[in-house]
Amino acid sequence: MLDRRNPITLEEAQAKLAALPVYRRTEEISIDQANHRILAEDVHATYDYPNFRRSGYDGYAIRSEDDQDYPKIFKVRGEIQAGATFDGDLGENETARIMTGAFVPDNAGKVIMLEQTRAVPDQPEQVKIMVTGKNDNITPAGSEFKQGDLLIAAGTELNPGGLSLLSAFGQSKVLVYRQPRVALITTGTELLHQCEQPQPGKIFNSNGPMIANLVKESGAILTEEIQLQDDYELLKSNLKRLRASNDVVITDGGVSVGDFDYLAEAARNSDELLFNKLKLRPGSVTTAFVDQNTLVMALSGNPGACFTGFYLFTEPVLRRYVDQASKSQKVTAILEKPYHKTNGYDKVLRGTYRLAADGRYYVQLNGSDRSGDLGNLQSTTCLFKIPHSHEPIALNAEVETWLLPFK
Ligand SMILES: Nc1nc2c(c(=O)[nH]1)N[C@H]1C(S)=C(S)[C@@H](COP(=O)(O)OP(=O)(O)OC[C@H]3O[C@@H](n4cnc5c(N)ncnc54)[C@H](O)[C@@H]3O)O[C@H]1N2
Ligand code: MOO
């Protein structure tokens, strides 16, 4: 039976996925594990920072009132190492030898750099200060943060710099969004594992490794990856099993109208079919449905369509679980090489782009526009849209472009 479908536009499909309720969970994790994780709450300074007056140089701490009449001999009251404190006050023309980062005595007003001093022969308890400088070389307490200041806002992707800031406040744990759990099913009786020998009529499963890596690049946890023959019962039982413990199940292949396109059947029988036909090439059969509160993203088996479908529909959804926008940067670019083909559907093609000296992005097709081709997947840096039309798009037309988040 030929299956009649209601095609919707790329934008309508993206809007349906953007409106889908997602359940965001949080977890407290060690700061050692938090690079690239998304902070789920604002983090504030728990005390003033620095929390003591700190010397910026190795040298001698003196009182402000003694900072005159150079050269002058001072009595050295002691030595303050970084990490130590100093009890009591400096007296008139008294000084303390001090190290960079060390606690400055409460009544000291300046640190004279070591280079501006000389030892006094045979007088280890004395130092001669030759000249003074205009800076006091003391970092005041609370000069960078006051207690309660915002350190990092919720929704920020933590990076090594941010983790260092949190560590400076002694924080060992952070509250972050849980990464979505994603399972991957590639389907097709024609698929071989990489460990198998080539066979007539069969192909190696190349979309599996691509999607698996894209899932991880998108900040999700790939919980399981399986490859299934075209078998409806097998598909149903695995979908049911994987739904139970994942936020999203991604499938690949079997969504068209072929006799063995069982994903199409699973979508029709689901709790909520979001879409199963797009006014879009490649990837017109890209399908999304919800079963038992789990989203199933059914990507096309054609490698080019699978790649495009992941970036346009799947990556933005995965980011929503951690309250992030897609990492594809949407820009307007100028089409700088002719593209003559026309289509009744919008096309989203694999391209390369450059940012020119005029500040504008320029884009061109990266080799092939065919859905079944995969030779350009490594070198594609953007996707761009050719709107549906009976006329070829004009050279230098402005086209919607997604700069892909390669790392
Ligand atoms: N009568 C019609 N036939 C087709 C239509 C249509 O509208 N009417 N749509 C065509 C379009 S457009 C596409 S795209 C494909 C989509 O098919 P599926 O998404 O159902 O994918 P399959 O049929 O399973 O496979 C398509 C193609 O991709 C290869 N493939 C599948 N899985 C993998 C993988 N893991 N790694 C590498 N390559 C894979 C598969 O061998 C096929 O060559 O349907 C058209 N047909
Ligand atoms: O939908 Mo298919 O346009 O060839 O990828």
Residue nearest to atom 3 of ligand 2 (CA): 282
Cβ neighbours of 142 (radius 10 Å)? 17
How far apart (Å, rounded) are the C-alpha atoms in residues 165 and 34? 13
**Domains of the chain, each with CATH number or no CATH:** 10-25+179-320 (3.40.980.10), 27-49+143-177 (3.90.105.10), 54-139 (2.170.190.11), 329-403 (2.40.340.10)
Nearest listed ligand to the Cα of residue 193: 1
User: Rounded to a whole number, what is the largest CA-CA distance in the chain?
Assistant: 105
Does 403 contact ligand 2 (Cβ within 6 A)?
A: no
How far apart (Å, rounded) are the C-alpha atoms in residues 115 and 134? 15
Cβ neighbours of 59 (radius 10 Å)? 25
pTM: 0.92
How far apart (Å, rounded) are the C-alpha atoms in residues 167 and 62? 32
Which residues have CB under 8 Å from 195's CB, separation 6+?
Answer: none
Does 300 contact ligand 2 (Cβ within 6 A)?
A: yes
3-class secondary-structure state, position 332: strand
How far apart (Å, rounded) are the C-alpha atoms in residues 263 and 228? 12
Contact (CB, 8 A) for 297 and 207? no
Does 17 contact ligand 1 (Cβ within 6 A)?
A: no
> What is the phi/psi pair of residue 29, to 5°?
-130, 165
Element (H, E) at 210: helix 207-217
Does 261 contact ligand 1 (Cβ within 6 A)?
A: yes
State in Å: Cα 301 to ligand 2 middle: 9
Nearest ligand 2 atom, CA 300: 5
Does 162 contact ligand 2 (Cβ within 6 A)?
A: no
- pLDDT tens track, the chain, 407 positions: 567 789 999 999 999 999 999 999 999 999 999 999 999 999 999 999 999 999 999 999 999 999 999 999 999 999 999 999 999 999 999 999 999 999 999 999 999 999 999 999 999 999 999 999 999 999 999 999 999 999 999 999 999 999 999 999 999 999 999 999 999 999 999 999 999 999 999 999 999 999 999 999 999 999 999 999 999 999 999 999 999 999 999 999 999 888 888 999 999 999 999 999 999 999 999 999 999 999 999 999 999 999 999 999 999 999 999 999 999 999 999 999 999 999 999 999 999 999 999 999 999 999 999 999 999 999 999 999 999 999 999 999 999 999 999 75
3-class secondary-structure state, position 91: coil
ipTM value of the model? Answer: 0.97
pLDDT given at position 407: 54
State in Å: Cα 286 to ligand 2 middle: 9
Nearest listed ligand to the Cα of residue 190: 1
